[in-house]
Chain A
Amino acid sequence: MSAVNDSMVVARRNLIRMGRIPEMLIFGLIQPIMFVVLFTYVFGGSITVGSSTSTQAYREFLMAGIFAQTVTFATAGAGAGIADDMHKGLIDRFRSLPMARGAVLTGRTLADLVQTALTLVVLAVVALTVGWRTHENIGKVLAGFGLLLLLGYAFSWIGALIGLTVRTPEAATSGGLIWLFPLTFISNAFVDASHLPTFLRHIAEWNPFSATVQACRELFGNLPPGFNASSAWPMQHPVWASLIWSVVIILAFRTLAVRKYRRAAG
């Protein structure tokens, strides 16, 4: 029981912090909002997806990609937060207390999950104002957001490991972000992956990130007319692929991060 209680105590601590540093949430929103605007109005007119050339089709196609990219940025938040705790000596304080070993990291990632949810709400509102619409029932739409949250939660565990590994919050922020750009761009997030060169196309199709994007497009009813999903397994069964990827990432990175956290403590 103590593992649950301790995680909640730490999560609460991180949420209080987030409330006192609202800049973090606000800056976290600026980039995705900028992407919505840029892709919708700047690139939107020249990118075609499926057989449709309407800008509305791309707008709807785009949003799942931006939502997914946004949730993966939780990596940087979790990483920077944990690196900061290391740097300031809070991790040592926690380690000297008789608390559950994984609780410091679980608490942090749960708090990030709350932040991710808030970010998604704001972003969805922005998306609706620029013309994004869903065409499936509410249950499916919510399931799509559930998959996005799960992906964000998985990526915050990657961030936790990065935060425990690098020495400073600055390094954790850049270390948490640089690889996210290729990861999120070599995917189906912004373009129809079938137009990519073969080599990149394979990466994009098996990219864990692409699975969630494709799943959300299906669940939101945002696949453009005439869009041919690739025959790769994750693109044919994106909901399953997304679930499996996220769970695998959580299990793997949670194990590594908790081990790293305890290692010095023995």
Chain B
Amino acid sequence: MPGAIYAEGLVKTFGDVRALDGVDLDVPEGTVLGLLGPNGAGKTTAVRCLTTLLRPDSGRAVVAGVDVLGHPDAVRRSIGLSGQFAAVDEYLTGRENLQMVGQLYQMRAKQAKARAVELLEQFHLTDAADRPTKTYSGGMRRRLDLAAALVVSPPVMFMDEPTTGLDPRNRQQLWEVIKQLVSGGTTLLLTTQYLEEADHLAHDIAVVDHGKVIAQGTSDELKARTGGERVEVVVHEREHISTAAEVLGGFGKGDTTVEEHTRRLTVPVTGGAKLLAEVIRELDSRGIEIDDIALRRPTLDDVFLSLTGHVAEEKPEGNGEQGNKQGNKKNTRKETAK
């Protein structure tokens, strides 16, 4: 039986650009899938196809047990959407926004009102409830945006880059909210360019590049696929570097790299902590004093690099976050206009 979110061979082209080039996804009920990839990888397009906003050129998608192309309205009743492109009205207050969304989910006015009060409380927005949202901070807006997606407690949620542009504190807060939500059994598909975020929130990670899922698995599985661990040693004396290199060479599964000026040696290994202990004993018996030694597991950065040949978090042009956001917006605009 397909999962709560299921896609098979999704293709979407914009002019010459194949934004989606045959995407397959399967998210079991109650789990979180992190869709990880750089800007322009096709993450947003995938979410737009799954949330009925965009019609794929070919392929099939089933969300909450309903065929997305066949019964888009039924899908809309079961999903919540939050993120970079699903906004709130900046001139309406937080309360008015939530009430409006509730009513458009076909709640009665009274019911929508009561639900808005609950959500404002839950997202710590009660104090700001009657202020127009343009006076909100970035973090507050994201929380309201998320609240708007949760008005009907939908069984399936989509979040498109929920924390892009947020400072670390607000990001942490939002992560807590998302974790709570998921612990309540909601199925979630989340896109992100932050490896840390996917690692932190998702059960499964699908790495997307050039409109394709190029790898999928748990964070640990992906790391294991990249080819394991390395031992890193920093020796105290410069003249010990060559002896240390000899020792590490004996344990290593590949070439030892040496950085002379930092006195750092790195070698790929297998065998984990047990091997680390052996390395330490051997170095000690040779009388090599060390400043630091560690077993390094690959980060998702390493995973992405080894899978795609380029790093995941491409530096946006211009000045940091702002340039980044604008870039995203432009992507979205293009997709909407076609």
Is the CB of B72 closer than 8 A to any CB of chain A?
yes
User: Are B53's CB and A264's CB within 8 A?
Assistant: yes
User: Are A264's CB and B77's CB within 8 A?
Assistant: no
Is the CB of A225 closer than 8 A to any CB of chain B?
no
CB contact list, B242-264 vs A, under 8 A: none
Which B-chain residue is minimally distant from A89 (CB atoms)? B87
User: Are A6's CB and B55's CB within 8 A?
Assistant: no
Size of interface on A: residues with Cβ below 8 Å to B: 30
Cα A105 to Cα B170 in complex, Å, equals 35
User: Are B55's CB and A266's CB within 8 A?
Assistant: yes
| Residues of chain B with a CB closer than 8 A to A237's CB | none
Cβ contact of A89, chosen from B51, B86, B91, B105, cutoff 8 A: B86
User: Are A89's CB and B332's CB within 8 A?
Assistant: yes
Is the CB of B17 closer than 8 A to any CB of chain A?
no
Which B-chain residue is minimally distant from A101 (CB atoms)? B73
CB contact list, B59-110 vs A, under 8 A: 69, 72-74, 76-77, 79, 81, 84-92, 96, 100-101, 103-106
Is the CB of B277 closer than 8 A to any CB of chain A?
no
User: Are A266's CB and B90's CB within 8 A?
Assistant: no
| Residues of chain B with a CB closer than 8 A to A12's CB | 100
Interface SS of chain A: helix
Would you give the shortest CB distance from A6 to chain B, in whole angstroms?
Answer: 6
Cα A13 to Cα B90 in complex, Å, equals 11
Is the CB of B281 closer than 8 A to any CB of chain A?
no
Which A-chain residue is minimally distant from B76 (CB atoms)? A98
Cα A97 to Cα B106 in complex, Å, equals 9
User: Are B72's CB and A99's CB within 8 A?
Assistant: no
Would you give the shortest CB distance from B173 to chain A, in whole angstroms?
Answer: 22
Would you give the shortest CB distance from B109 to chain A, in whole angstroms?
Answer: 9
| Residues of chain A with a CB closer than 8 A to B103's CB | 5-6, 9
Is the CB of B333 closer than 8 A to any CB of chain A?
yes
Cβ contact of A98, chosen from B90, B105, B337, cutoff 8 A: B105
CB contact list, A104-123 vs B, under 8 A: none
Cβ contact of A96, chosen from B52, B55, B74, B338, cutoff 8 A: B52
Is the CB of A92 closer than 8 A to any CB of chain B?
yes
User: Are B72's CB and A87's CB within 8 A?
Assistant: no
User: Are A20's CB and B91's CB within 8 A?
Assistant: yes
| Residues of chain A with a CB closer than 8 A to B338's CB | 264
Is the CB of A17 closer than 8 A to any CB of chain B?
yes
| Residues of chain B with a CB closer than 8 A to A265's CB | 52-55, 72
Binary B-proximity of A1-44 (CB < 8 A = 1, otherwise 0): 01001100110110011001100000000000000000000000
Would you give the shortest CB distance from A106 to chain B, in whole angstroms?
Answer: 13
- Assess A93 versus B84: contact at CB under 8 Å? Given A86-B336, A264-B54: no
| Residues of chain A with a CB closer than 8 A to B336's CB | 86, 91-92, 264
Is the CB of A167 closer than 8 A to any CB of chain B?
yes
Cβ contact of B106, chosen from A10, A98, A266, cutoff 8 A: A98
Cβ contact of B88, chosen from A20, A93, A99, cutoff 8 A: A93
Would you give the shortest CB distance from B331 to chain A, in whole angstroms?
Answer: 12
CB contact list, B20-67 vs A, under 8 A: 48, 51-55
Which B-chain residue is minimally distant from A13 (CB atoms)? B100
| Residues of chain B with a CB closer than 8 A to A264's CB | 53-55, 336, 338
Cα A199 to Cα B320 in complex, Å, equals 58
User: Are B87's CB and A93's CB within 8 A?
Assistant: yes
| Residues of chain A with a CB closer than 8 A to B48's CB | 92
Cα A21 to Cα B48 in complex, Å, equals 32
Is the CB of A259 closer than 8 A to any CB of chain B?
no
Is the CB of A90 closer than 8 A to any CB of chain B?
yes
User: Are B81's CB and A93's CB within 8 A?
Assistant: yes
Cα A20 to Cα B48 in complex, Å, equals 32
Cα A91 to Cα B332 in complex, Å, equals 12
- Assess A97 versus B92: contact at CB under 8 Å? Given A92-B85, A266-B52: no
Is the CB of B132 closer than 8 A to any CB of chain A?
yes
Which A-chain residue is minimally distant from B148 (CB atoms)? A93
Is the CB of A88 closer than 8 A to any CB of chain B?
yes
User: Are A97's CB and B104's CB within 8 A?
Assistant: yes
Cβ contact of B53, chosen from A17, A90, A95, cutoff 8 A: A95
User: Are B81's CB and A96's CB within 8 A?
Assistant: yes
User: Are B52's CB and A97's CB within 8 A?
Assistant: no
| Residues of chain B with a CB closer than 8 A to A9's CB | 100, 103-104
Cα A87 to Cα B85 in complex, Å, equals 9
Cα A265 to Cα B338 in complex, Å, equals 11
- Assess A2 versus B100: contact at CB under 8 Å? Given A167-B337, A265-B55: no
- Assess A98 versus B77: contact at CB under 8 Å? Given A89-B332, A92-B336: yes
User: Are B106's CB and A2's CB within 8 A?
Assistant: yes
| Residues of chain B with a CB closer than 8 A to A93's CB | 81, 86-88, 101, 148
| Residues of chain A with a CB closer than 8 A to B89's CB | 13, 17, 90
Q: List 21 A-B contacts (CB under 8 A).
A: A2-B106, A5-B103, A9-B104, A13-B89, A13-B92, A16-B92, A88-B90, A89-B332, A90-B87, A92-B86, A93-B86, A93-B87, A93-B101, A96-B76, A96-B86, A98-B105, A99-B104, A99-B106, A103-B104, A265-B55, A266-B55
Q: 9 nearest interchain CB pairs? A: A89-B87, A266-B55, A98-B76, A96-B81, A89-B85, A98-B77, A93-B86, A17-B91, A99-B104
* Beyond A17-B89, A97-B104, A265-B52, 14 extra complex contacts between A and B, CB < 8 Å: A6-B104, A13-B100, A20-B132, A88-B87, A88-B90, A92-B336, A93-B86, A93-B148, A95-B52, A95-B53, A97-B76, A98-B77, A264-B54, A265-B55
